[in-house]
Amino acid sequence: MKTTIYNFANLLSLLRILATPFLIYMIFNSPLAPTIIVFCLIALTDAGDGYIARKFNQGSYFGKIFDPIADRIFFISTIVTLAIRFSVDLYLFVPLLTREMIAMPGNIILLSKHKPLMPPVKFIGKLTTTLQCITLPLVLLGWKLAMFFVALTSIAGIVSGIHYVKTAIES
């Protein structure tokens, strides 16, 4: 594992953080199609940074911490913004936020143990992220199917979050 922070994988995580306020602005002020395209492009940086880190040996301790932070910023900001923008009761989005909120204590536990590495990504975590990337555009589109995906994503998110904290405690 490298110690450098200067690589393309970490740049993608940084771009995800920097693009999030732009997406929030677009959710409130832009037509739907470009907003969904920007959301999808930002979401692709999440898949891209991990792929590039593994494929081109750009994994770093910094990236293992920075990538999940970028994920939390992107997903929490987007979920809360959608709830506000579409005047949806936030409690309907609480299950979607659950994984994001459960993962934070996992980070704190690892840092308190002076462990720079995040738990390894598991299938349930990747599934939850994928479901979030499907669910949020469906909410933007206002499709009734979105609520089914909110429920599905919520279940996967809770399981993923619990697994994350359990792994952090055991490490």
pTM for this prediction: 0.85
Task: Please give the average pLDDT of every successive group of 10 residues along the chain, which has 171 residues.
Answer: 84 97 97 95 93 90 85 91 81 74 70 60 84 90 86 88 78 72
Distance CA 90, CA 80 (A): 7
* Amino acid 171: pLDDT: 72
* Amino acid 63: pLDDT: 87
32, HSE (Cβ side, Cα atoms, 13 Å): 10
* Amino acid 110: pLDDT: 67
Helices (H), strands (E): how many in the chain? 6, 0
Nearest partner of 164 among 117, 111, 105, judged by Cα: 105
Return the domain boundaries, the chain: 8-170
Q: Kindly list the distances between the CA atom of residue 15 and the CA atoms of 18, 39, 49, 69, 165, in Å, as whole numbers in the listed order.
A: 5, 12, 10, 12, 27
Sole residue written with tokens 């750009």: 58
* Amino acid 4: pLDDT: 78
Task: Report the 10 Å Cβ neighbour count for 14.
Answer: 14
CATH among 1.10.10.10, 3.90.400.10, 1.20.1090.10, 1.20.120.1760 for 8-170: 1.20.120.1760
